[in-house]
A = this chain, B = another copy of it.
């Protein structure tokens, strides 16, 4: 287990933010779903399932806060809503099937290399990136 809640709570506190029960619950859910980027609505539902109570507004605000301090990443599946995943320091990239919606994760990555070259070439200081691939999974290829 390379993700600990303590590590993240430290990060939150060190920035002067309080670790409220709501923030803790949301963090736990994100850690539990580390392989599955959740929408704010998805986080909200999981909160209910775990028998806790957190307002949807708070979910939105917390996710944005966590993103700002680098605890979660922002991901897009082109389906009209934002998704968030815990940032464990490894690159996460996704394969999204345009037919069945299946999502596969891959951590194959040339991005580090690409990022370094880009930073040198452009003098940009890169802090985040977002990469998703879209296409058809092996089953949907057959079904067409």
Interface pick from A6-14, A17-25, A55-63, A104-112: A104-112
Cα A67 to Cα B141 with chains together (Å): 20
What is the oligomeric copy number? 2
Q: How close is A72's CB to chain B, nearest CB, in angstroms? A: 13
Q: CB of A117 within 8 A of chain B?
A: yes
Decide if B108 touches A95 in the complex (CB within 8 Å).
no
Interface residues on chain A, size class: 35 or more
**Chain B residues with CB below 8 A from A121, complex form:** 106, 108
Q: CB of A32 within 8 A of chain B?
A: no
Decide if B108 touches A136 in the complex (CB within 8 Å).
no
Q: CB of A128 within 8 A of chain B?
A: yes
> Which among A74, A97, A123, A124 has the greatest number of chain B C-beta atoms within 10 A?
A124
Cα A135 to Cα B95 with chains together (Å): 24
A124's nearest neighbour on chain B, judged by CB, is B95
**Known contacts A110-B113, A122-B106; A135/B131 CB under 8 A:** no
Decide if A126 touches B135 in the complex (CB within 8 Å).
yes
Q: How close is A133's CB to chain B, nearest CB, in angstroms? A: 5
**Known contacts A108-B117, A110-B114; A134/B125 CB under 8 A:** no
Cα A1 to Cα B125 with chains together (Å): 32
- Which residues of A pack against B, CB within 8 Å? 74, 76, 78, 82, 95, 97-98, 104, 106, 108-111, 113-115, 117-118, 121-138, 141
